[in-house]
Amino acid sequence: MGQTTIPPEFAADAAVMAEQHQRVLTALHQCDIAWPAYPTRLTSVAPAGVAAARAYPMQGILKYHGMSDWDWRIAFLPSVSVCNDAGSTLTRVAFDPHLAHDTLVIGGRRATGRELARVVRSLDVLRAIAGVTTHAHVVSHNVVRASRVGKGLGTSASASAALALAAIAALFGPAAAANARFVSSIARLLAGSGCRSAAGGVSLWLSYPGIAHEDSFAVRLDPPGALDALRLVTVPIDSAVALQTEEAHRDAPHSSLFRAWMHSRADEVLACLAAARAGDWQTLGRWAEIDSIRLHGITMSGGDAHKLFGWEPVNITLFRLCNQLRAEGHAVYCSTDTGPTAVFLCDAAGAEALTQRIAALDAGLEAVTGQPAGPAALVPDALACAELGIDPGTPGSGVVR
């Protein structure tokens, strides 16, 4: 599919990041982390195919903001995250030759506008590969193990991964759906972080300005069982300013801090790679916490007139709480992405101490303890229909009328 665009003002930085990319690839190969070839020839096995998939939201460790290519959703820098079982997204894609246009239902609500357009973009790329024009019914539902989702949990990433896997399986069959690189690359098109939700665990998104679409995907870094001791304590927090992630992406590259953030990334990726391979969750936690602070500093300094403050006042309390707990001997680290929702990285003892202290704040916060989640996976259609409330035998099933 070829190269993606480079913003002219970032041409010199793109060359630096391309060199860093090669350093990261070398380190991945030295760790025997491999990936399949991107498929060059695919034909639709079922132009009226149906499939469903489930994926998990992710929490950033090394964050990203800003798109060097919005159409292909290419980030300026690589990023690392951990999938979080505090929530999940189940998505069913049903291609139907009788449909005049794509339809999208999210949580029982018909979606239109920008939400629908982003899904159509992903489907259009797959239709072009398949050589078909068949439209699809897409039904998606987020489940969160809390009374509210908050802002910044990463459900757009899980929705992206679930959509990509389900659509690929529906159009091309199980062999194509088993190609993790292909699924991850397509998952990136709805929301960039979706490529990491597709990969699962602690995953690295390979990206820099000008990278080819097929080379921008995520790989999982942690070996099986390496992070069994890690707990993720999720505290959903709503945004009082209705923060929009795309607004943050547009502001960040204008910050005077942005280029320094880009240029330091390769060394940080290598540190996280080593930590993930060794099961060193504390190092991952330290990076997640410091990059949360840097992310919000960059976002807040990206606009000269309108300052984008993504945190709520309680976030300061939660970061300070981590300092207090660490002083008492509990390794607990706070992470935030775009928005105030906080995810803490700790072990079981730290999770218990943390949840007790959060309850003692009497701030109306809810804490959900979980663990790292795996990659996106296909779900039997009967089970998906039951969970989504769909009658698979009804034409146009799942569409809100």
The CATH number of whichever domain residue 224 belongs to comes to 3.30.230.10
Distance of alpha carbon 95 from the chain centroid: 25
Going by their DSSP bridges, the two strands 135-144 and 87-96 should be labelled as antiparallel
- Asked if residue 361 has pLDDT above 90, the reply is yes
Residue 165 in any domain: the answer is yes
Domain with 151 in it: 8-36+48-388
Residue 159 in any domain: the answer is yes
pLDDT, averaged across the chain: 93
Cβ neighbour number for residue 158 with a 10 Å cutoff: 33
Q: What is the pLDDT of residue 302?
A: 84
Alpha helices for 201-253 (secondary structure H): 245-251
Q: How confident is the model at residue 239 (pLDDT cuts 50, 70, 90)?
A: confident
Q: What is the pLDDT of residue 179?
A: 98
**How far is the CA of 294 from the CAs of 20, 59, 151, 204, 260, in angstroms?**
20, 15, 18, 19, 11
Mean pLDDT of all residues in 61-67? 96
Q: How confident is the model at residue 394 (pLDDT cuts 50, 70, 90)?
A: low
Distance of alpha carbon 326 from the chain centroid: 28
Residue 394 in any domain: the answer is no
Mean pLDDT of all residues in 123-140? 95
- Asked if residue 236 has pLDDT above 50, the reply is yes
Side chain identity, residue 224: P
Residue pair 234/367 in contact by the 8 Å Cβ criterion: yes
Q: What is the pLDDT of residues 161-170, one digit of tens each?
A: 999 999 999 9
Closest by alpha carbon to 53, among 90, 15, 8, 99? Answer: 90
- Asked if residue 118 has pLDDT above 60, the reply is yes
Query: How many residues are present in the chain?
Result: 401
What is the three-class DSSP state of 113? Answer: helix
Q: Is the C-alpha dihedral spanning 372, 374, 380, 381 positive or negative?
A: positive
- Asked if residue 223 has pLDDT above 70, the reply is yes
Mean pLDDT of all residues in 393-397? 55
Residue 241 in any domain: the answer is yes
- Asked if residue 150 has pLDDT above 60, the reply is yes
DSSP secondary structure string for all residues of 184-210: HHHHTTT-TTHHHHHH-SEEEE---TT
Residues 333 and 397: their CA atoms lie apart, in Å, by 44
- Asked if residue 398 has pLDDT above 50, the reply is no
Residues 85 and 68: their CA atoms lie apart, in Å, by 30
- Asked if residue 396 has pLDDT above 80, the reply is no
Q: What is the pLDDT of residue 1?
A: 59
Residues 26 and 197: their CA atoms lie apart, in Å, by 23
Residue 245's region, left for phi above 0, alpha for psi from -120 to 50, else beta, is: alpha
Closest by alpha carbon to 171, among 123, 99, 215, 213? Answer: 123
DSSP letter, residue 372: B
Residue 3 in any domain: the answer is no
The structure tokens listed for 351 are 């999770």
Residues 321 and 367: their CA atoms lie apart, in Å, by 14
Residue 42 in any domain: the answer is no
Q: How confident is the model at residue 261 (pLDDT cuts 50, 70, 90)?
A: very high
- Asked if residue 47 has pLDDT above 80, the reply is no
Q: Specify the DSSP element, H or E, that contains 95.
A: strand 87-96
Q: How confident is the model at residue 399 (pLDDT cuts 50, 70, 90)?
A: very low
What is the three-class DSSP state of 136? Answer: strand
Closest by alpha carbon to 182, among 73, 37, 374, 379? Answer: 37
pTM: 0.95
The structure tokens listed for 130 are 């398949």
Residue 393 in any domain: the answer is no
- What is the count of structural domains for the chain? 1
3-state secondary structure 60-87: EEECCCCEEECCCCEECCCEEEEEECCE
Q: What is the pLDDT of residue 227?
A: 98
Q: What is the pLDDT of residue 397?
A: 52
Residue 41 in any domain: the answer is no
Query: Which of 107-121, 265-279, 305-319 comes out lowest in average pLDDT?
Result: 305-319
Q: How confident is the model at residue 400 (pLDDT cuts 50, 70, 90)?
A: very low
Q: What is the pLDDT of residue 66?
A: 94
Mean pLDDT of all residues in 215-235? 98
Mean pLDDT of all residues in 253-257? 94
Mean pLDDT of all residues in 118-145? 95
Alpha helices for 219-343 (secondary structure H): 245-251, 258-263, 265-278, 281-300, 313-327
Residue with tokens 């018909």: 110
Cβ neighbour number for residue 296 with a 10 Å cutoff: 23
- Asked if residue 151 has pLDDT above 90, the reply is no
Mean pLDDT of all residues in 352-356? 98
Mean pLDDT of all residues in 333-344? 95
Q: How large a percentage of the chain has pLDDT more than 90?
A: 85
